[in-house]
């Protein structure tokens, strides 16, 4: 996939990226040595080669696929090397430096605090590392507000505890301003959004925004999208949906009427969907007036395809014009929850 100068030079806004999904093999190798954590790969080349395969979601196996690791197993295995505040800072700063190269001016990264606290890492190490990076990135010209994710395959009570712990780092009265929204990530298998209703209500009561993953091509995705549009947050619905691409036609009107945009990650779907199926589908949704923007999800676990590669794919395969591609960036600004001065600066 060749990135054309037009796509490379376009200023960008990213609304769907998991910070832990930006951990490069190089940084993972470095942190493993820094923290004396053994990796199941004897050499760096072996580690690097493990990223070349296509890792699929196998939700029906709930992360227990014999042989090759499922996508989420690989994702959480990568997290093992992250231990100290400096590790989280380095992870985030590496991403922000990548943003400079990619011309990402504003980003709303997801973070999975439970992926770390359940391994015994103090919440403060995670939150302070990310907070310091958020502040230092401004000097690089990269602004960010982050999204706290509930791990939906963990007990709801564990998510609520994690939220309460993280709350002083939110954009609440007197808070530190790291994150301004909550999301829902990890394995969606038999874990519909409404299970986390209490978490969404807590977040809304705190003045935070609410989004949630409704993964592409998973069991019950339709039902999950319907809950996200009509049921969560006391019937108000989510403000955005992450993926949501295979919402059936009867749900499109709901997305449009309620102004719920989709944060799409074309390369993630393209790994397991034919070009002639996927890109016309994206185009059809767009023509029906569903708001959308294009993002990278977990770039280092998805063949190192970042936001530029994702935008290039829709530019090349959907037949969008240059003007339409610029409009997609404006859509991302509109769909973002950036403060007005930041929005103005990007527009």
Nearer to Zn ion, 121 or 262 (CB): 262
Min dist. Cβ of residue 94 to ligand ADE (A) = 17
DSSP state of 20: G
Q: Does 297 bind Zn ion (CB under 5 A)?
A: yes
Residue with tokens 């339709």: 222
The binding track of 150-189 with respect to Zn ion, each residue x by CB under 5 A or -, is: ----------------------------------------
User: What kind and span of H or E run contains 210?
Assistant: strand 209-214
- Site stretch for Zn ion (CB under 5 A), options 163-171, 245-253, 292-300, 307-315: 292-300
Q: How far is the CB of 110 from ligand ADE (least distance, A)?
A: 7
DSSP state of 274: -
Binding partner selected for residue 215 from ligand ADE, Zn ion, none, CB under the kind-specific 5 to 8 Å limit? ligand ADE
Quick one: 301 or 325, whose CB is closer to ligand ADE? 301
| Contacted by 227, from Zn ion, ligand ADE, none: CB < 5 to 8 Å by type | none
Evaluate whether 147 touches 116 at the Cβ level (below 8 Å).
no
User: Between residues 20 and 308, which has the closer beta carbon with respect to Zn ion?
Assistant: 20
Closest distance of CB 213 from ligand ADE, Å: 5
Q: How many residues does the chain have?
A: 347
Neighbours of 104 (CB within 10 A): 24
Name the residue whose CB lies closest to Zn ion: 297
> Which residues are near ligand ADE by CB under 6 A?
18, 21, 75, 185-186, 213, 215, 297-298
> Which three-class secondary structure state does DSSP give residue 139?
helix
Paired tokens of 104: 């990402």
* DSSP state string for 175-209: ---SEEEEEEES--TT--GGGGHHHHHHHHHTT-E
Of the candidate spans 70-78, 89-97, 130-138, 297-305, the one that interacts with Zn ion by CB under 5 A turns out to be 297-305
Q: How far is the CB of 115 from ligand ADE (least distance, A)?
A: 9
Closer of 268 and 333 to ligand ADE (Cβ): 268
Taking a C-beta distance cutoff of 8 angstroms, is the pair 12, 103 a contact? Answer: yes
From the list Zn ion, ligand ADE, none, pick the one residue 88 interacts with, judged by a Cβ distance below 5 to 8 Å according to partner type.
Answer: none
Q: How far is the CB of 182 from ligand ADE (least distance, A)?
A: 14
Q: How far is CA 147 from CA 107, 109, 155, in A?
A: 10, 6, 19
Return d(Cα 7, Cα 197) in angstroms, integer: 39
The minimum distance between CB 305 and ligand ADE, in angstroms, equals 13
- Would you say 209 or 267 has its CB closer to ligand ADE? 267
Q: Please check whether residue 346 is in contact with residue 13, taking contact to mean a CB–CB distance below 8 angstroms.
A: yes
CB 192 within 8 A of CB 185: no
Q: Which residues make up the interface to Zn ion (CB under 5 A)?
A: 297
């Amino acid at each position: 996939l060749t990135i054309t100068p037009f796509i490379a030079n376009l200023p960008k806004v990213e609304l769907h990226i998991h910070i832990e999904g930006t951990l490069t093999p190089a940084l993972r190798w470095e942190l493993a040595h820094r923290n004396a954590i053994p990796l199941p790969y004897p050499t760096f080349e072996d580690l690097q080669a493990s990223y070349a395969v296509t890792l699929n979601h196998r939700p029906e196996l709930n992360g227990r696929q014999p042989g090759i690791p499922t996508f989420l197993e690989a994702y959480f295995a990568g997290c093992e090397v992250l231990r100290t505040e400096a590790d989280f800072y380095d992870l985030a700063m590496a991403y922000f430096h990548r943003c400079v190269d990619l011309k990402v001016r504003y980003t709303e990264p997801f973070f999975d605090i439970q992926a770390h606290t359940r391994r015994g890492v103090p919440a403060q190490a995670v939150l302070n590392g990310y907070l310091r990076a958020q502040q230092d990135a401004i000097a690089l010209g990269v602004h960010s507000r982050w999204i706290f994710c509930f791990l939906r395959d963990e007990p709801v009570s564990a998510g609520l505890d994690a939220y309460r712990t993280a709350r002083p780092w939110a954009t609440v009265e007197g808070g530190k301003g790291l994150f301004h929204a909550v999301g829902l990530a990890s394995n969606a298998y038999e874990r519909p959004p409404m299970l986390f209703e209490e978490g969404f209500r807590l977040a809304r009561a705190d003045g935070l925004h609410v989004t949630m993953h409704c993964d592409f091509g998973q069991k019950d995705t339709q039902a999950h999208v319907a809950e996200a549009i009509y049921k969560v947050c006391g019937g108000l619905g989510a403000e955005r949906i992450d993926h949501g691409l295979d919402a059936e036609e009867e749900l499109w009107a709901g997305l449009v009427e309620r102004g719920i945009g989709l944060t799409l990650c074309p390369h993630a779907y393209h790994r397991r969907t034919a070009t002639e199926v996927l890109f016309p589908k994206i185009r059809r949704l767009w023509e029906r007036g569903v708001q959308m923007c294009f993002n990278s999800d977990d770039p280092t676990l998805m063949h190192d395809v970042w936001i530029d590669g994702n935008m290039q794919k829709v530019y090349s395969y959907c037949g969008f014009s240059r003007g339409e591609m610029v409009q997609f960036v404006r859509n991302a600004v509109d769909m973002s929850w950036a403060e007005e001065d930041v929005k103005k600066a990007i527009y």
